[in-house]
Amino acid sequence: MLPAAGEPVGSHEPGEDPSVTLFRAYLRLRTVQPEPDYDAAVQFLEQMAGELGLGCQKVEVCPGRVVTILTWPGTAPQLRSILLNSHTDVVPVFEEHWAHDPFEAFKDSQGNIYARGAQDMKCVSIQYIEAIRRLQAEGKRFPRTVHMTFVPDEEIGGRTGMELFVKRPEFQALNVGFALDEGLANPTDAFTVFYGEKAPWWITVKCEGNPGHGSRLIENTAAEKLHRVITSLLQFRESEKQRLQCEHLTLGDITCLNLTMLNGGVAFNVVPSELAASFDIRIPPTVNLQAFEEQLAAWCRAAGEGVTYEFHQKYMDQTVTSTEESDPWWKAFSGACRDMHMTLECEIFPAATDSRFIRAVGVPALGFSPMNRTPVLLHDHNEFLSEGVFLRGIEIYARLLPALASVPPLPAEGGE
């Protein structure tokens, strides 16, 4: 239950920073897939809008799936805006593997807060809100409008969330010039910034062959063909692993391929006429997608007749965001980080986030979660974030937002 209007969200513990209390209250909302309590999240965000005097818009992109937009108007609203995006849903948990209730937001004696979504990515949502609260308290205003979007269903691919939202007139009306979205923790002193993403391809390869009785050595079976396909793809996987180890690349630089499902067969003593294997493939923007599909087709042809493949997801946009100092957005972002003596490591995101939909409509976006000296625990058991790292993230956003929201007018906006 959320408190009544005007009451603070979360019970404040003696000596605890109010921002941490708010963070823990947000973590307790069970927005867990496959049945997330989105109504609770929207109510929470509406209360935040009321506390901060921000505009609040709700856009239902499909039944039961609402994008909540909180807006802090700029002094020059004709300029393109800054978008701070985060998703409200979290992935499922296996509670038997957790040391604490994953929706209690337990804080241990070292200040580590254990909860599903602590890193992915409810921390960032509250850091946005608290950074704006801090800037408002200081009486700050900036030329560019800042929008915070809180979107559903990112954890199941974003197709019923951001992918639909960017196609709607309500998104166009935000007039976004630059966006921030989620990144990953970094166990070192550095902070990781993601300027692009891999293209996720999900394919199923179907192999047809001669059926018969399990006691016979039948020729040209579906299993033999499937074996050839799997061998070809897993050999490619091994070669990419070798590149990762020998060429000092990051996971975002190579193509990741995994066999994730096998289907077929009707009985122990029946040789099936069809078998299928499904693969999750993540392709970096440095790879020619047409050439890669031609390679897939060649592997299937080499396996024999009756071998086909079909796509369940085929993302083709390979847009990346500039990290050149000549780019005004990157200059503002990286300059603010330098002023804070932050070391940045620029990479391609190894998986997929809503940033890909934002970039695909022409808006530059960076994936950034200000979590250094922190193990990468998204989707893992006992996901946690230190309250010290969390509070430092608010300070970082409170420095980044003034820099980004004060980028001078660009040529397309009538500037010099």
Total-model pTM: 0.91
Same domain, 230 and 307: yes
Same domain, 44 and 107: yes
Q: Which domain does 230 fall in, by range?
A: 200-314
Catalytic, out of 120, 130, 153, 154: 154
Same domain, 46 and 101: yes
pLDDT of residue 13: 72
Same domain, 142 and 225: no
CA distances from 268 to 206, 212, 274, 311 (A): 20, 11, 14, 29
Same domain, 26 and 129: yes
Same domain, 177 and 210: no
Q: What's the residue count for the chain?
A: 416
pLDDT of residue 12: 60
Same domain, 100 and 144: yes
Q: How far apart are CA 279 and CA 255, in angstroms?
A: 12
Sorted by sequence, the CB contacts under 8 Å of residue 326 that are 6+ apart come out as: none
Q: How far apart are CA 256 and CA 236, in angstroms?
A: 9
pLDDT of residue 9: 58
pLDDT of residue 3: 46
Same domain, 177 and 260: no
pLDDT of residue 24: 98
- To the query of whether residue 305 is one of the catalytic residues in this protein, the response is no
Same domain, 107 and 254: no
CA distances from 390 to 252, 259, 404 (A): 25, 36, 21
Decide if 401 contacts 178 (C-beta within 8 A): no
Decide if 152 contacts 63 (C-beta within 8 A): no
Same domain, 177 and 73: yes
Q: What phi and psi values does residue 307 have, to the nearest 5 degrees?
A: -105, 115
pLDDT of residue 295: 98
Residues of the chain under the 70 pLDDT cut = 1-12, 415-416
Check which CATH number belongs to the domain holding 250 and give it: 3.30.70.360
- To the query of whether residue 154 is one of the catalytic residues in this protein, the response is yes
Counted domains in the chain: 2
Check which CATH number belongs to the domain holding 401 and give it: 3.40.630.10
Same domain, 154 and 252: no
